[in-house]
Structure 1
Amino acid sequence: MEEPVPEDKNKFSAGGTTFIVDSRYEFIKKIGHGAYGVVVAANDHQTGTKVAIKKIPNAFEDLVDAKRIVREIKLLSFFDHENTISLLDVMLPPHRTGYNDIYIVTDLMETDLHRVIYSKQALSNEHIQYFMYQILRGVLYMHSANVIHRDLKPSNLLLNKQCDLKICDLGLARGYDVNTENLTEYVVTRWYRAPEVVLNSSQYTEQIDVWSIGCVFSELLGRNPLFPGEDYLDLVQKIIAVLGSPSPEDMEFIENPAARRFINKLAKKEKTKWSTVYPKGHPVALDLLDKMLVFNPIKRWTVKQCLEHPYFNGLHNPDEEPLASAPFDWSFDNFEPTKEILQNMVYEEALKFHPA
């Protein structure tokens, strides 16, 4: 026999998954299926708004994944910015420990940039400019909070009908002065990886996000990924085919001798003109792209510099590009995860939304 559903809960099924949510939420439809679970749209009768509810079933089976989920919850509850997804609720688990599922409630967005890029919808220069501006504005805020996103790609950039953009999926985010020996568990989609990540440099900074944003920019301009590498070596070759062979100075950040040898053995390439790659691209847009997709991270522009580029004339206003009021405190992240510790942490986060 099934357990009875408590009076203060609603039960429904979506995408083969059973949801048991607080009664304030009424199911509308399934909207997505991610690596970690099913996402539905729901009416929140308490606020009169529509929200997204993600159920992560058996969330603690894999402790590395569970730690990522905790990290994402903590980051989202810390962030307060128009261009990052808002955490609206973490449903209170039945007990402090011993439970399996996590329910997270966020803003409801209609679509994501990946779907827009591969749709039939025409994208004007104004559309692309506005998307890029919002991405950079959101990432400026993250970087000011000592957070590197590390997994920026079109499917992690959510949109609504008004073209408002919000960055999501922060489970891989890191600080850039946290002890970095565990940064190797970097599983971001390969096509958006900066050269210093691909070439396994231990010295990487927030500039890796600028590279990823440049890759998103190029995809908006060409409606195709610029560097669809099939593996690491193929990716490096595709990057060099467009950017040209790096100079010895621009390879100084590569500590791995095998990686240097591999690049030195490749046929020498001249840099391709961006106007050849994107003949319809606006010259000012291509000039900005050129500042973002720079092989050497030290010469790559920062997010702040990108926002000050003439491409954003009319949009850029430093007074409306808020920074974080304080850096995010990464000290919580330094622990060996166990099921009980992680369950307790999620419970503590949920209590913030459900004060007794």
Structure 2
Amino acid sequence: MEKKELFGPDWRIINKLGEGSFSEVFKVKSMKNQQFYAIKMLKKRFRSVEEVTRLPEIMCLRALEGNPNIIRLEEVLFDSKHNCLALVFELLDENLFELMRDHKQPFDEKTSLLIIYQLLKALSIMHAKNLFHRDIKPENCMINKDTYELKLADFGSARTTSDTGPFTEYVATRWYRAPECILTSGSYGPAVDIWAVGCILYEILTTRPLFPGKHQLDQIARIHNILGTPGREVLSQFKQNPNSQINYAFPHRVPQGFRSLLPNASEGIIDLLSKLLVYDPNGRISANEALQHPVFENIRKQERNYIASHTNIPFSAFVMMNQSHTTIKNNVDVSPVYQDPSPLGTPITFIQQAVMSQVEEQKSDSNLGVEFLNNQNQKPNNAVPSKSILAESKPVAPSNLSDSRRMTIERIKIYNQQHPAKMSHAQNRKVAQPSLHFGMPKVVKPTVLPQIRVNPYQKPSADVIKPRMQGVKIRFDL
């Protein structure tokens, strides 16, 4: 069967985005609304609707619905004929790993903290609902390459704190695996997510992984080389449920400290890293405590202003807009650059676009854009082109920066008019309910499941797991 037939006539496959041990991900286009989405096809077979509703990934996503830093689950597709399950998600540009790879240089502290703040916001909500992710890594942090808006994804390994352990030992990717995941036989909790955040923060600042271990013994040795060998009290806690493959007779190592690794970093960054990467999970800072760290003081202030402004742009774009406003006043602009389509066009930063959009559309809500224009040395000399002229004529190279701003405003307005669904979703965003007790999903197209004899699940061979979605489908409203 061809790939275009996998999900039925409602979806057209554009290309394959990736494949892991448990799923394949495709970029698809909906034939109903012409929008693009990401479909995650699970390789496991499911015997009934009840088994699907009990899937931890679906339960977690439903519990976290409405959080701006959690990937949005749009639809659940279940083929009862072939026992195939597919999850439809919103589509984002790329993941954090790809962003760092393409950036090819370390990010500045302001951008790094903005990314980490959003990740901590997602984990704060998760941990408050007694959930923890267990696989925090750059590949699972989807991000908008222009606004740096972050959304946490891939909840296939997520568990609740009420689950009876021990958990799987080889959870998380090795480089971001906390010491308790390596040294114990599954005795760990939400603190493993915090450890991974510390590893990611260092990687954003340096473009290098902090603990790139080749195997678990090498991984723990690299941790000891930087943090030092843990004391007897910490090791005694791990020995209550030890990993039998690990010899606890570690050679003594003196802590290296993060200052030697990041000589140019601010004191706030060093202090935050030292609290995120504590060997003892009981002494590790929580997500809520990390969000209140002094290094995030400016971002917290911007968050309060963002809530008061009632703007529809992402929070990350709002923060960067303010940072750009301050930077331009000092004649140093380090924000991402948008290149005008015209060959002779003047480069315009994405943040300048956002500022000018706010000036035109939300003058009554915020004075930030007005201040931005008033503080420019160059005053507008020409009249603002009409919408009809800009919409019908070919792109013209702007003669000066003020013309570029006006053209950018018009382009943003046209873009917003062409994408009303995004604006509507932002305005009508649901609030997540603090509960994990779900009933049966609403069945849009109720059907009678075929009476098929089902054997106990075994890992299928490659030719068996190829999904075929032409059978009966049941869809769930989320």
Matched, 1:216 2:200: yes
| 1:272 matches 2:272 | no
Cα distance, 1:25 vs structure 2: 3.1
Partner of 2:476 in structure 1? Answer: 352
Take 1:22 and 1:257, find their aligned partners in 2: how far apart are those partners?
A: 48
The corresponding residue for 1:245 is 229
Deviation at 1:92, TM superposition (A): 4.1
| CA offset digits 1:195-217 (Å, max 9, x no partner) | 11111155422111111111111
C-alpha separation in 1, matches of 2:477 and 2:122: 24
Which of 117, 120, 133 is the equivalent residue of 1:133?
Answer: 117
* Residue 263 (structure 1) shift: 4.2
- Asked whether the 8 Å contact 2:74–2:89 carries over to 1, the reply is yes
Aligned with 1:178 (options 146, 163, 166): 163
Distance in 2 (CA, whole Å) between partners of 1:99 and 1:185 is 32
CA 1:128 to 1:19, structure 2 compared with 1: closer, same or farther past 3 Å? farther
TM-score (norm 2): 0.60
Contact 2:229/2:250 (8 A) holds in 1: no
Is the Cα contact below 8 Å between 1:140 and 1:304 reproduced in 2?
yes
**1:304 aligns to what SS in structure 2?**
helix
Please list, as runs of the form range in 1=range in 2, the aligned pairs for 1:99-138 lying within 5 A after superposition: 99-122=82-105, 123-138=107-122
List aligned pairs for 1:226-245, cutoff 5 A. 226-245=210-229
Q: 1:331 to 1:87 in 2, by over 3 A?
A: closer
Please point out which of 35, 40, 45 is paired with 2:26.
40
Contact 1:175/1:330, CA 8 A, preserved across alignment: no
Q: How far did residue 231 of structure 1 move?
A: 1.9
AA aligned to 2:476 is: K
Of the structure 1 ranges 274-283 and 83-92, higher mean CA displacement relative to structure 2 is found in: 274-283
* Identical residues among aligned pairs (%): 27
CA distance in 2, matches of 1:42, 1:197: 36
**Which amino acid in 1 is paired with 2:68?**
E
CA shift at 1:155, angstroms? 0.6
Q: 1:270 to 1:189 in 2, by over 3 A?
A: same
1:126 is paired with a residue whose SS is helix
Q: Write the mapping of 1:47-126 to structure 2, written as runs, cut at 5 A.
A: 47-57=33-43, 59-60=44-45, 70-80=55-65, 81-93=67-79, 95=80, 98-122=81-105, 123-126=107-110
Q: SS of the counterpart of 1:21? A: coil
Mapped partners of 1:223, 1:37: distance in 2: 28
**Distance apart, 1:141 and its partner CA:** 0.6
Structure 1 pair 350–252 and aligned structure 2 pair: CA distance change class (3 A): farther
1:254-293, aligned counterparts within 5 Å? 254-255=238-239, 262-266=247-251, 268-293=252-277
CA distance in 1, matches of 2:431, 2:228: 35
Whole-angstrom CA distance in 2 between matches of 1:329 and 1:223? 41
Please give the per-residue CA displacement for 1:246-297, whole angstroms capped at 9, x wherever unaligned. 122332321259779944441x222112121122333211210110100011
Q: Which moved more, 1:194-203 or 1:240-249?
A: 194-203
1:329 CA displacement:
4.1
Shift of 1:137: 0.2
AA matched with 2:75: D
Q: Aligned equivalents of 1:352 and 1:331: distance in 2? A: 12
Q: Which has the larger radius of gyration?
A: 2
Q: Structure 2: how far apart are the matches of 1:197 and 1:77?
A: 27
- Cα distance between partner residues in 2 of 1:69 and 1:119: 38
Alpha-carbon distance in 1 for matches of 2:63, 2:162 = 18
Q: Give me the TM-score of the superposition, normalised by structure 1.
A: 0.78
Shift of 1:160: 1.7
Deviation at 1:189, TM superposition (A): 1.2
Q: Is the 8 A contact 2:183 2:242 kept in 1?
A: no
- 1:157·1:167 contact (CA, 8 Å) conserved in 2? yes
The answer to which of 257-266 and 273-282 deviates more is 257-266
The 3 A distance-change label for structure 1 pair 323 and 223 is farther
> Which segment is superposed worse, 133-142 or 217-226?
217-226
Q: Report how many aligned residue pairs link the two structures.
A: 320
Superposed counterparts of 1:136-155, under 5 Å: 136-155=120-139
Partners in 2 of 1:55 and 1:19 — Cα distance?
13
Aligned twin of 1:326: 434
253-262 vs 110-119, which moves further: 253-262
Conservation of the 8 A alpha-carbon contact between 1:240 and 1:269: yes
Can you give the 5+ residue segments of structure 2 that lack an aligned partner in the other structure? 308-314, 316-429, 441-454, 458-470
Q: Which amino acid aligns with 1:42?
A: V
Asked if structure 1 preserves the Cα contact closer than 8 Å seen for 2:108 and 2:205, the reply is no
* Aligned pair partner of 1:167 in 152, 172, 190: 152
Report the alpha carbon displacement of residue 36 of structure 1 after superposing the two structures with TM: 3.2
Q: What does residue 303 of structure 1 align with?
A: 287
Query: Which stretch has the larger CA shift, 200-209 or 20-29?
Result: 20-29
For 1:277, the aligned partner's letter is L
Which deviates the most, 318-327 or 108-117? Answer: 318-327
Could you list the per-position Cα deviations for residues 287-337 of structure 1 after superposition, in whole angstroms to 9, with x for gaps in the alignment?
1011010001111111111100011112237977999532424999xxxx9
**Residue equivalent to 2:299:** 315
Task: Give structure 1 stretches of 5+ with no counterpart.
Answer: 3-11, 340-346
String of CA shifts for 1:188-242, please: whole Å, max 9, x gaps: 2111111111111554221111111111112112211111122222111111110
